[in-house]
Structure 1
Amino acid sequence: MADKGLRVIDAHFHVWDLSCQNLPWLEGTDGSITCTYDLSDLEAAYAGLPGVDFVGGVYVEVDGDDPALEDRLVWDRMADDPKLLAAMLRTRVEPWMRLPVFAAGVREPLHIDSEPPRRCLEPGFLEGLRVLAAAGLPFESCSRTAELPDALRAFSQVPEETVVLNHLGNVTPDTFDDAWRDVMAGFADLPNLYVKVSGFPTADAGFCRELLGFVRETFRADRLLYASNWPVVSMYGDFAEHFARLREAFGDDGRFFCDNACACYGIDPAALD
């Protein structure tokens, strides 16, 4: 088989259909992504990257006002496009939580305004994490940066659960400080935590080099996931530039760009050929 280039699994992307879905959070944005996106748009974005074989990605819930509708739409998309390799769908983490049977795991967005402070430390949330661990289902964690210490406390109480920390804890140049470094080092000590290297502004090359250098030094190589956060990435950076920054930092490391996502989300590597 001919070499198609660097094999890539995008561990974090979104698509939505505004003809039937309502995403209230879009009203607070600049309008640049207030349109419908489907998987063909994502595939076209990767087709524009030289030397890249985009084998598929992980859909992450979109914070819409109708999670049941989202579940159905994602199921239909998975049936239509083999590049949708896994789906992390929305629920409220409790011992009795609802979860579509085809989901690879769940996300409760902890970073949105409607989530109360310290939600991740509530007894029901912690017990829900234990239920997820027993079922072998990972939890996708997106937290407000100021609440990362609370998240670390929560996940430290349920170390058996696989947690995927989104977007480097939503770090920015203003929060890339000793407090952020300390809490990220704490996350790196957890036995079952992955971190998505995404969500940061890419225009400042010096900041990117320092940030990515810290990430590589702090986390095990088998715990780092390539992710784009497409199409939201365009609100704070550039898709192609983001990929270029990461390829510069990680080279063509197959673990980072593909293998770690398979291990995290239970994707069969043989099914990608």
Structure 2
Amino acid sequence: MSRLVDTHIHIWNLDQVEYPWLKGNTSILNRTYDLNELEPQRKTTGITSGVLVQAANNAEDTAWMIRTAELHPWITGIVGWLPLQDPAATARILEKEYVPGAKLKGVRHLIHDEPDPRWLLQDTVLESLGLLAAGDIPYDLVGVLPVHIKTALEVAEKWPSLRMVFDHCNQPPIGRVDSEWEDLMTIAAKHPNFYVKLSGLGTAAQKGGAWTAADLEPSIDFVLRHFGVHRCFFGGDWPVSLLAGSYETTWTAYRTLIEKKLDPQAQAKLYHLNAERFYKLPL
């Protein structure tokens, strides 16, 4: 294996950016996380490149990711935030910052923190998503409810050329049965521009650090069966993943399962080729 891309890394700096979701948070997440802290684990796990993903619905978070990426050449892409409710402002930023050679490669909004789970279906937001589709810029879907999948399906009907990825598999039912999640993801898989990010699964198991690779296997099998090896890729979800164990534990579980199931050619698709194609990452 020559390359291993972590497509889902977070950083946050409480002195530089406001993170509303961290207010009152009493977990280990409520502190600044600098990318230098991840470096020893990155080397141990063999990660060769990474994608920083937005952690706040504001421009300051994106600016902080850009500044950090400039200091860490192994960061080859950034999924930033845009004011999607303002199509004119979105257009200006896209024209100025989402340009060839820039590290900004995708867009995300914390839709799971919005009171309205159908937030993406606002007329202004849909107009902005149309700009992403026109520019072939992918969108990360951070959903946690079945209605988030339903909403994504409606977005796909409006903008069928928009490439979208379900972050964290849209919270699969690990250790339990959820026919609605399975039915909706099966429908989503029929749309060729939906991808799945195999990330955050240790946290989704809701066992703290007591989960095993076997706990994740049914969900990974389901996703591979329906979306195929061409539309899946991996993300470590650091530092959120630390709620469920170490960075090394997460990647060991993912690699153990994939290397048991797939030949080296298929493994390469999940480890780097699909991510490089989806986010248009430099090689």
Q: Is the 8 A contact 2:6 2:236 kept in 1?
A: yes
In the alignment, which of 83, 107, 129 is matched to residue 74 of structure 2?
Answer: 83
Which aligned pairs between 1:139-178 and structure 2 lie closer than 5 A?
139-147=139-147, 148-173=149-174, 176-178=177-179
Q: Per-residue CA shift, 1:173-215, capped at 9, x if unaligned? A: 3775111111111221112122100122350544312111111
Q: How does 1:66-77 map to 2 (within 5 A)?
A: 67-77=58-68
CA distance in 2, matches of 1:126, 1:175: 34
Q: Which residue of 1 aligns with 2:180?
A: 179
Q: Structure 1 length as normaliser, TM-score?
A: 0.86
Is 1:262 the counterpart of 2:276 in the alignment? Answer: yes
Distance 2:273 2:168 in 1: 19
Kindly state the Cα deviation for residue 241 of structure 1 after the two structures are TM-superposed. 2.3
Q: C-alpha separation between the residues in 2 aligned to 1:104 and 1:143? A: 20
Letter in 1 for 2:48: V
User: What percentage of aligned pairs have identical amino acids?
Assistant: 25
Q: Is the 8 A contact 1:160 1:191 kept in 2?
A: no
Tell me which residue corresponds to 1:235: 243
Could you tell me which residue of structure 1 aligns to residue 230 of structure 2? 222
Unmatched segments (≥5 aa) in structure 2 = 206-210
Q: Could you tell me which residue of structure 1 aligns to residue 135 of structure 2?
A: 135
Aligned to 1:16: 12
**Aligned AA for 1:30?**
T
Deviation, structure 1 residue 141: 0.9
In structure 2, the residue matched to 1:61 is 54
**Partner Cα distance (2:84, 2:183) in 1:** 27
For residues 188 and 28 of structure 1, what CA distance do their matches in structure 2 show? 37
Say which of 44, 48, 54 aligns to 1:48: 44
User: Within 5 Å, which residues of 2 pair with 1:98-117?
Assistant: 98=90, 99=93, 101=97, 102=102, 103-112=104-113, 114-117=114-117
The alpha-carbon deviation at position 115 of structure 1 amounts to: 4.1
Alpha-carbon separation, structure 1, partners of 2:34 and 2:192: 35
CA distance in 1, matches of 2:106, 2:258: 27
> Corresponding residue for 1:36?
32
Q: Which moved more, 1:180-189 or 1:100-109?
A: 100-109
Say if 2:254 is the partner of 1:246.
Answer: yes
Cα distance in 2, alignment partners of residues 28 and 258 from structure 1: 37
User: Where does residue 191 of structure 2 map in the other structure?
Assistant: 190
Q: Is the 8 A contact 2:199 2:234 kept in 1?
A: yes
The equivalent residue for 2:218 is 210
- Unaligned 5+ runs, structure 1: none
Deviation at 1:82, TM superposition (A): 0.6
3-state SS in 1 of match to 2:23 = helix
For the residues of structure 1 that align with 2:200 and 2:166, how far apart are their CA atoms? 11
Give the C-alpha shift of residue 221 in structure 1.
0.8
| Residue type of the alignment partner of 2:72 | D
Shift of residue 245, structure 1, vs aligned partner: 1.9
The number of aligned residues is 259
* Distance in 1 of aligned mates of 2:89 and 2:191: 24
